[in-house]
Amino acid sequence: MKLLTVLLATVTLCAGSAVPLVPGDNSHYVEGVSRYIWMPNGESEPKLVDLQAPADQIELFNTRNGANNEYWLYTRNNPTSRQVLVHGNINTVHSSNYRANRPTKVIVHGWNSNGNSEMNPLITSAFLAVQDVNVIVLDWNRLANSLYSTAVRGVPDVGNHLGNFLIWLFNNAGGNWNQLHLVGFSLGAHIVGNAGRTVGGRAMRITGLDPAGPQWGGNSNALNRNSGIYVESIHTDGGLLGIFDPISDADFYPNGGRNPQPGCLISTCSHSRAPQLFAASIRFNHFIGRQCANLNEAQLNNCGGNQLRMGNADLGKRGAGFFGLRTGNNWPF
């Protein structure tokens, strides 16, 4: 029996250390065991990540001061041409199209991405199509394009600096916490969680798009219910690239919340589906979740309780619990 235990442990170790061969396929992945996982970059291309690679302390030292964060403003007056707002330089705000009486939407990308990555114009254009708003895209590309383990450890500081920027912006140029909506994908979901707590939980709404899972289980810096007045998450690759457990006031599990999502064959596609679903929900507000009695019902997509719409741009949205729904396999899903 002792020999069998040793052999099983050895097999598990080898399986956990094996390099997966099919790009984007994370069917091998066991949380807390596997060393390698595929993650999408900003263009949804799979990149292999070594979860045991040590964080680059020099890179963390160089980026943790927040000086590399950039805040790009888009409005209906400049829907595709960014205006850079500089923290501490009020002239960059006064000379921009920022208006304090508009709602403000903040969008934050994930790992191996930047402010131009496909999710940002997709969600920005959706917001501007339905509302006259300020859209601020946080570009944190330098840290985001470092090792995954380095980026994970830098997330709280990026979020804190985002929160402090918003405090400065609202104090000096005007703004309304009751009209603030923070949206983050993957690691970006945890960034907006930290930003929300930095501003004292005053953001009216926070949306996490498949919040990153690897290295976030039990992590106190993750997005949680204390991050804003109303916090929601949309889970599309739970248990692999995304967290599956509920972490928000309302947690949505489209198509069971796991890979494969309709139209996807691999995990990286399912993970990237969350921002696509959210952008579609802003434009059409057509996803109706039904409350589930428990997480198992959500995973089985066998929910028949009260209705709550998934996503959309409604700042007054409220709800709590698990919600399941079905979507299509291509835009607008």
Supply the CATH number for residue 105's domain.
3.40.50.1820
Rounded distance, CA 167 to CA 170, Å? Answer: 5
Residue pair 138/108 in contact by the 8 Å Cβ criterion = yes
Q: Average pLDDT, whole number, for the chain?
A: 94
332 is a domain residue: no
Q: Catalytic site residue 113?
A: no
Q: What is the model's pLDDT at position 18? A: 85
| Residue 100 lies in domain | 56-325
Its pTM stands at 0.94
Percentage of residues in the chain having pLDDT higher than 70: 94
pLDDT higher than threshold 80 for residue 328? yes
Q: What is the DSSP letter of 298?
A: H
**pLDDT band per the 50, 70, 90 thresholds, residue 285:** very high
279 is a domain residue: yes
Residue pair 51/214 in contact by the 8 Å Cβ criterion = yes
Closest CA to 144 of 227, 36, 68, 252: 68
Q: Is 165 exposed, middle or buried (0-12, 13-18, 19+ CB in 10 A)?
A: buried
Q: What is the largest CA-CA distance in the chain?
A: 74
Rounded distance, CA 293 to CA 307, Å? Answer: 13
Residue pair 162/130 in contact by the 8 Å Cβ criterion = no
The C-alpha angle with vertex 24 and arms to 20 and 26, in degrees rounded to 5, equals 55
21 is a domain residue: no
Q: Catalytic site residue 272?
A: no
Say if strands 205-209 and 70-75 run parallel, antiparallel, or are unpaired: unpaired
170 is a domain residue: yes
Residue pair 215/51 in contact by the 8 Å Cβ criterion = yes
Q: Catalytic site residue 186?
A: yes
Q: Show contacts of 318-321: CB within 8 Å, 24+ apart.
A: 318/230, 318/249, 319/230, 319/232, 319/249, 319/250, 320/249, 320/250, 321/250, 321/251, 321/291, 321/292
Q: Is 187 helix (H, G, I), strand (E, B) or coil?
A: helix
pLDDT in tens, 90-112: 999 999 999 999 999 999 999 99
* Average pLDDT estimate for 179-192: 98
Rounded distance, CA 21 to CA 23, Å? Answer: 6
Helix (H) or strand (E) segment spanning residue 106: strand 104-108
Of 146, 251, 271, 281, which residue is the catalytic one? 271
Q: How many domains does the chain have?
A: 1
- Bridge partners of 308, per DSSP, are 289
Of 210, 237, 249, 251, which residue is the catalytic one? 210
25 is a domain residue: no
Residue pair 309/323 in contact by the 8 Å Cβ criterion = no
Rounded distance, CA 256 to CA 300, Å? Answer: 6
Exposure string of 287-306, with b = 16+ CB inside 10 Å and e = fewer, is bebbbbeebebbbebebeee
Rounded distance, CA 175 to CA 183, Å? Answer: 17
32 is a domain residue: no
48 is a domain residue: no
9 is a domain residue: no
**pLDDT band per the 50, 70, 90 thresholds, residue 12:** very low
Q: What is the model's pLDDT at position 228? A: 98
pLDDT in tens, 190-214: 999 999 999 999 999 999 999 999 9
Say if strands 321-325 and 250-254 run parallel, antiparallel, or are unpaired: parallel
Output phi, psi for 327, to 5 deg: -130, 170
Q: What is the model's pLDDT at position 61? A: 82
Alpha helices for 174-294 (secondary structure H): 187-198, 267-284
Of 186, 233, 248, 272, which residue is the catalytic one? 186
